[in-house]
Amino acid sequence: MRNNIVQLFLTYLKIGTFTIGGGYVMLALIQREVVDKHHWLEEQEFLNMIALAQAAPGLIAVNSAIFIAWRISRNEAHRHQRLYSAACVAAAVLGAVLPSIVIILLIAVFFTSYKSLPVIEAMFKGVRPTVVALIAATAIRLARKI
Amino acid sequence: MIMIYLQLFLSFFKIGLLGFGGGMAIISLVQNEVEVHGWMTSAQFLDILAISQVTPGPVGINVATYVGYTASGTVWGSLLASLAIILPSLIIMGLLCYLYESIRQRWSENKIFRFTMRMIRILVVVLIANAAYRLMTPATFMDYSSWVIFAVAALCTLLPEVKKNRMTETLSHPILLILVSAIVGLVIYR
């Protein structure tokens, strides 16, 4: 039981740390972790989840974390079901946003006059094509299991 | 001072409630709030936006944290702004989750419902493909090296579809691919 909460937090911490440049990259990571590795959802429900997360207002990353955590919490019966669901959702959302908040605060507090660093710019020139490939591949892999 | 916190909370709550289409679509709403309240200059905001796009994490949370800090000058302001932008999601997604389950239980055997859901899933796949297509800009594909990186990454990601074993599973891991391409970028472009 408590394992699931910790597991969700750690999984989303990982997803939040490696999401670069918006929610769609996150989908590749979520599919890997949630569908392929932990088998928490099947491909079809994963697609339902994306539809819901997009239709609702707010950040897709946060919306999907809420849905997946809630869905996983319903997989097993629990004495305090609602409390348990709320704890799972809180753990996933916290994991998803914590890397963001910590990194941005570090930058905001210590680099008051930020000018784009050539090192970071070079890294991102390499990462951007990979991100496109990851998103395209996610579409192809999911298309086979609609 | 209290006023700034209240303004931050209300502004970002509103953004979370009215912002459809994910982080990048929300940016214009944030910009509007920043201008209305005069929290920073537009040059400052552009800087913040640029940093938010190249640091890890959802862009919306990055921007909220940064604007919250800059506007209030404290860590509390940034935490409050981030919380405020998440809060509407928690409420609305919570309701949608319950709705989803009750509909699924009642209608899961219904042919029309299953057909509709299948159509929605096809639409979602098209949306994801479109997101990839829109990212194929000259800024991303600036030279031959970018195309090589793209081709190798795509190949690695699709390997498990051809042959599923431990090696292809490891090679296709998104985190590994992102880290390796960051190193490659460092070597090529510096």
Residues B52-61 pLDDT 10s: 877 888 888 9
**pLDDT above 90 coverage of chain B, percent:** 34
By C-alpha distance, the chain A residue nearest B147 is A129
Distance from C-alpha of A25 to C-alpha of A132, rounded to nearest angstrom: 8
**A114 pLDDT higher than 70:** no
Distance from C-alpha of A101 to C-alpha of A107, rounded to nearest angstrom: 10
C-alpha torsion B116→B122→B124→B130, nearest 10: -150
Distance from C-alpha of B153 to C-alpha of B138, rounded to nearest angstrom: 18
Q: Do A122 and B186 touch (CB under 8 A)?
A: yes
Q: What value does the mean pLDDT of chain A take? A: 85
pLDDT confidence of residue B149: 94
DSSP character string of A95-125 = HHHHHHHHHHHHHHHH-SS----HHHHHHHH
ipTM score assigned to the predicted complex: 0.83
Query: Average pLDDT of B92-110?
Result: 86
Min Cα distance B71 → chain A (Å) is 11
Whether residue A17 contacts residue A61, with contact meaning beta carbons closer than 8 Å, is answered with no
A70's tokens? 């809630």
Domain range for A69 is 2-143
B125, B140, B183 member nearest A129 (Cβ): B140
By C-alpha distance, the chain B residue nearest A96 is B57
C-alpha torsion B15→A14→A1→A76, nearest 10: 70
Whether residue B70 contacts residue B39, with contact meaning beta carbons closer than 8 Å, is answered with yes
Residue type, A134: L
At A113, the pLDDT band (50, 70, 90 cuts) reads low
Q: Do A57 and B92 touch (CB under 8 A)?
A: yes
Q: What is the pTM of this model?
A: 0.84
Residues B126-147 pLDDT 10s: 888 887 887 788 888 889 999 9
C-alpha torsion B75→B76→B82→B86, nearest 10: 150
pLDDT confidence of residue A24: 74
For chain B, domain boundaries: 2-95, 136-189
Q: Do A59 and B122 touch (CB under 8 A)?
A: no
> Based on the structure, what is the number of domains in chain A?
1
Q: Which of A16-30, B151-165, B175-189 shows the lowest mean pLDDT across its residues? A: A16-30
Q: Which of A18-32, A112-126, B17-31, B176-190 shows the lowest mean pLDDT across its residues? A: A112-126
Of B50 and B187, the structure prediction assigns the larger pLDDT to: B187
Interface membership of B117 toward A (CB under 8 Å): yes
Q: Which of residues 23-42 of B touch A (CB under 8 A)?
A: 23-24, 26
**A9 pLDDT higher than 90:** yes
Query: Average pLDDT of B21-40?
Result: 82
Min Cα distance B52 → chain A (Å) is 8
Local structure of A20: helix, strand or coil: strand
CA angle B160–A128–B124, rounded 5-degree value? 60
